[in-house]
Homo-oligomer: A and B are copies of this chain.
Amino acid sequence: MNSFWQDNPRMMNHLFEVNGVIEQSMTVKQEKMNEILQDLAKSGGKRVRPGLCLIGAGFGAKSFKSIYPLAAVVEMLHLATLVHDDIIDDATHRRGSLTTQKKYGKDYAVYTGDYIFTKCFELLAKNYELHHMRELSRAVSRVCVGEIEQFDGRFKTHDSVKKYLKIVGAKTSALLATSLAIGAYEAGCDEKLCRKLGKIGLHLGNAFQIIDDILDYKGDTSRVGKTLGNDLKQGYYTLPLIYALKTDDAHLNELLSKGHYDDADVQKIIERVDELGGIDQALELAQKYTKKSLKEISALPSCQARDDLEWIVKKLLKRDH
């Protein structure tokens, strides 16, 4: 786990336990697969989804221990999608380490992702009622459709903010919202509260993804762990660019018309998007979603879990990690 949780040691301790469940669940006899899975289990990451799952459970009455497998599952589902995303994007690095597809080959990466997916459903079937299965399978279906929609939309300059948000909702926010809501459900919270938490999770997810996309345009590359303009090079036109394109700027359109960008092109596009206010507008929308979720959080019953939720939303907003 990286430094994300260091100023919330109570949650960090629980997440260490969740990490233990993840490492154990990703242990198999087959040597090669075990090597790949353990590599992945120990590859770090902020553990936002299991954190949200535990925070959701904090609104209820069950011990956190019974939530650990569920929290492990939401992270493992995320890991499975990352392994497959890296195949699509031909990504060489993630979190500063070689990706599975780079280190072991695309072949192993396909089956590794599949294995983790099905292992998650095995864990769910073993430990929990059908409810979580229903919610999580729906969330992951949405992730897949969102990813296809995003991939299908590469290099298209006419995409709207609405479509962008639809994709973000599917590929990112759905799983974050579900993580929070099913944690609460498992801990015995009533449906109304679970729905509210789910809604907060969606706002949080939107803010989270918009900020992530902004980091492709502006960010300390050594801390973000990836280079700028990565999405852009692959034809993923995210919110800053979508806003900038709304100005119908001749210079930006000309820069984009090449359809294939080297480092110098990317540099120029990023600069122009910034000049046209695209980055600021995107940041504004992220802040709008964050404020929305903070407002809804403040209306929740006062408790430790509410404080934790407020803490994580604020932490994710200030994100440059």
- Could you tell me which A residues sit within 8 Å of B by CB distance? 28, 30, 32-33, 80-81, 84, 87-88, 106-108, 110-115, 117-119, 121-122, 124-126, 129-130, 133-134, 137-138, 140-141, 144-145, 147-149, 151-152
Contacts and interface: CB of A to CB of B under 8 A. Distances in A.
Given A121-B133, A122-B138, A125-B133, 16 more contacts: A32-B148, A32-B149, A33-B145, A81-B114, A88-B110, A106-B106, A107-B151, A111-B147, A111-B151, A114-B140, A115-B145, A118-B141, A119-B141, A121-B121, A121-B137, A133-B133
A41 to B, nearest CB: 16
Contacts of A147: 111
Given A30-B148, A118-B141, A141-B118, A106 B130 contact: no
A124 B141 CA distance: 14
Nearest to A115: B144
A30 B145 contact: yes
Nearest to A150: B111
Contacts of A137: 118-119, 121-122, 125
A11 B84 CA distance: 38
Contact of A134 (B33, B113, B115, B122): B122
